[in-house]
Amino acid sequence: MKNPDAIIVGAGPAGLACAVTMRAAGLDVTVLEKADRVGSVWRRHYDRLHLHTDRNHSGLPGMAMPLIFPTYPSREQLVEYLESYAARFDIQPVFNTTVSRIRRDGTQWCVDADQGSISAPVVVVATGIADAPYRPSWPGLDAYRSAVVHSSEYRNPTPYVGKRVLVVGFGNSGGEIALDLANADVDVALAVRGPVQILPRDLLGFPILAWAILYRRLPARLVDFINAPILRLAVGSIEELGLRRAAKGPRQMVEEDGRVPLIDIGTLDKIRDGSIKICGGIDRLTPEGVAFADASAQKFDAIILATGFRPDLRQLMPDVEGVFDRHGMPLVTGQATNAPGLYFCGQITSPTGQLREIGLEAQRIADTARHYNVGLRAQRAAPA
Ligand SMILES: Cc1cc2nc3c(=O)[nH]c(=O)nc-3n(C[C@H](O)[C@H](O)[C@H](O)COP(=O)(O)OP(=O)(O)OC[C@H]3O[C@@H](n4cnc5c(N)ncnc54)[C@H](O)[C@@H]3O)c2cc1C
């Protein structure tokens, strides 16, 4: 592999968006991808998944999503879009190439992959979160006799028909997987440990994301204060369903805790009609099921962990200091880091849509990386 101006690790939405913006900024980029096709993570998400963000706010730089797509495109349509995006801008990632380590070598970033190493003054880490499913541990987990799977392994209700299933977690995956199971008449319960926030997918005829974007420059507390009454009306009472509304509003929850509120696409109706039962936090597992924190116990034939992802990028960059928080997440994403020439794209949850944020970050990264590269070339050209 020849050494380019910039190496991008990952060919999901973030990697592809950066490839397009950086190339438009005059940089010669190489994209390394461990899978054999672009958008590999979206190819393996659960079958019924549709975007929760609308088509008009989910396209990547330089190419809107096709108008023939519905307002909330399906998983397959997003994959189709990513394929067309790569084809249109002639982005040809080096596939089947897993990056095992990124290290600094003078003014260069040296990227070690299974085919060898390449170097560039700029590297963009666009590896997403999908490789780090978070699996909480409870006393009794080893003794539990049935399957415990993470939401990233869930595809559809078929294996669960005729079973009692507990879905753990009230994020978007948990809510949608419980809905998927309930629609297939599976006996399903949701374990909800703490207070929650719920948003309708559309408000007053507009996608909820459009409202979030409209209010994006206002402080989180103010936005949540303004929206609280209308959201209460739109969502209705949740306390009678056994849920507790979080004291922090939805926007504060995303900004301060990185937790995304549930965007309701039918889960609440299924909770209201009893098709999805609500349980509290888990205390421990028993061989047949779960003992909850309120001392009740129930049998379950399967447990699905919709408990999110916790990537730790220090594993990829053990020698790089000053760019990660204590969990190994980047301190900043979509802008220059403390390490010259190193960028992350799409790593921090955004209240205004992750795909939209990825597009904005890709543009900023391209602008900053171009200046950085020009400066570096000028330094090299300058007489000693
Ligand atoms: C279930 C689910 C639903 C979502 N729905 C929405 C939504 O509706 N709207 C929205 O805006 N956002 C949504 N998101 C959030 C976000 O937009 C997506 O996760 C998006 O795919 C992130 O893009 P990415 O490129 O950062 O990561 P990914 O899509 O995960 O791509 C990362 C790529 O990097 C590759 N890679 C990883 N490690 C290496 C390595 N070491 N070497 C080489 N290659 C590597 C992977 O194979 C992968 O192809 C959703 C996320 C999930 C999990």
| DSSP category for residue 35 | S
CA distances from 210 to 52, 72, 203 (A): 12, 13, 9
The residue type found at 305 is L
Q: Per-residue pLDDT for 56 more than 90? A: yes
Please choose, from the candidates 351, 337, 361, the residue with its C-alpha nearest in 3D space to the C-alpha of residue 13: 361
Query: How confident is the model at residue 14, as a pLDDT?
Result: 98
Which one of 7, 127, 201 would you pick to mutate in the ligand 1 pocket, going by the greatest count of ligand atoms within 8 A of its CB?
127
pLDDT at residue number 384: 63
Atom in ligand 1 nearest the alpha carbon of residue 98: 42
Q: Which residues line ligand 1 (CB under 6 A)?
A: 9-15, 32-35, 40-42, 45, 49, 51-53, 58, 98-99, 126-128, 130-131, 173, 346, 353-355
* pLDDT 10s digits, 41-50: 999 999 999 9
In a mutational test of the pocket of ligand 1, which residue from 60, 65, 355, 356 has the highest number of ligand atoms less than 8 Å from its CB?
355
What pLDDT does 92 receive?
98
Sign for the CA dihedral angle at 105, 108, 111, 116 comes to: negative
Residue whose CA lies nearest to ligand 1 atom number 29: 12
Average pLDDT over residues 294-315: 96
What is the pLDDT averaged over residues 57-78?
Answer: 97
Helix 250-257, helix 220-235: angle, nearest 10:
130
pLDDT at 307: 96
Q: What is the pLDDT of residues 153-178, one digit of tens each?
A: 999 999 999 999 999 999 999 999 99
Q: Which atom of ligand 1 is nearest to the CA of 173?
A: 1
Tell me how far the alpha carbon of residue 129 lies from the centroid of ligand 1, in angstroms. 6
Phi, psi for 210 (deg, rounded to 5): -65, -40
Rounded Cα–Cα distance for residues 89 and 288 (Å): 53
Whole-angstrom Cα distance, residue 170 to residue 179?
Answer: 12
How confident is the model over 103-140, as pLDDT tens digits? 999 999 999 998 899 999 999 999 999 999 999 999 99
Using 50, 70 and 90 to split pLDDT, how confident is the model at 1? Answer: low
